[in-house]
Amino acid sequence: MSAVELPFAWGGPCAQGRLRTVPEDFEVEEIIGFEPSGEGEHHWLWIEKRGANTEWVARAIADFAGAQQVDVGFAGRKDRHAVTRQVFTVRVPRRTDIDWADFSPAGVTVLSHTRHARKLPRGALSGNRFRLRVRGVEGDIDGIRTRFDRIARHGMPNYFGEQRFGRDSGNLPAALAMFAGQRVRRDQRNLLLSAARSSIFNAVLARRVADASWNRPLEGDVWQLDGSGSIFGPEPATGEILQRLETGDIHPTGPLWGRGRLRTVGVAAALESECAAAQAALARGLELADLAMQRRALRVRPAETSLRADGDDLTLAFVLPSGSYATCLMRELVGATDGPVDHSNGSGLEGPED
């Protein structure tokens, strides 16, 4: 199911506009959640990039530092057609001096640097801060403001965005080919496994959005604590559970498919099994790839939200936790005509959880 076909939770966009006319219209800043140690064999680089994908920057850092690419770490991929600020680390022996002021590939600036004790692992961020400008908005701007406030209070479906599936959703047929025996590079394998998991999760969430259960209990649900990967249940919808759900302290979850039994039971488990059966080749391939069954929240709430109108343009700012997509928030507000987006390297709208 493509992003275009995914059902809306709040009735569909209130207006039309243009997003990412220029990279500066889409700003993303990582929130790592901890400070560098200030000493060690790794250089911690706070980098701003424009019009450059993450893997390309990582290779450039390795070449400049005289290191192997495996010695370069970053928490998550970021869109090419955007202005993004993120951390890279590179392992450099203590005795080696590097003047990062001389590192200046096109569109890349080192904002600061220090030492750190270890390589930054993938997924080591708590969230991303976004500032998005939508140009030439036509439609109900007051409706956008009301909808944005409602999403901040009550959340939105935590879909995986179309970036996860590659150009023209090509990652899914590529995943099927891989499961059928086609050899792929290790980095490509990880992307294809993620796309396959995301497709089944989105199908489950789409069913629950369609029947209005994405933000309310189903019999047999498993829950996730807000702001945490902690999962509990299945647990029935007692008064306490309902209160915690209403306040956003917990969220229903859906499956990240893999080997093992579903943790849900009853109605929730039946729905998830039906969605996986409809994509049986992907589900079986994930099981044979020896990925353990995991869970992901069906709902996410943006934080630190603000909206400013400037004539026909709107600027929206918000924070999303790692693994959630700004494009999935925007589709609930504005039907945006997008600029040229690089789908080849994943998205800055996510932090990998696989």
What residues are annotated to the active site?
79
Q: Residue 36, preceding bond cis, omega within 30 degrees?
A: no
Torsion 192-193-194-200 (CA) sign = positive
Closest Cα partner for 349 from 20, 84, 119? Answer: 84
Sign of the dihedral defined by the CA atoms of residues 135, 136, 142, 144, in that order: negative
Indicate the SS3 state at residue 304: strand
Distance from C-alpha of 311 to C-alpha of 295, rounded to nearest angstrom: 43
What is the spatial distance between Cα 343 and Cα 163, in angstroms, rounded to a whole number?
6
Q: Name the β-bridge partners of 84.
A: 28, 49
CA distance 187 to 37: 29
Query: What are the backbone dihedrals phi and psi of residue 241, each rounded to the nearest 5 degrees, phi first?
Result: -60, -45
The bridge status of strand 231-232 relative to strand 294-297 is unpaired
At residue 216, what is the residue type?
A: R
Cis before 252 (ω within 30): no
d(CA 354, CA 196): 11
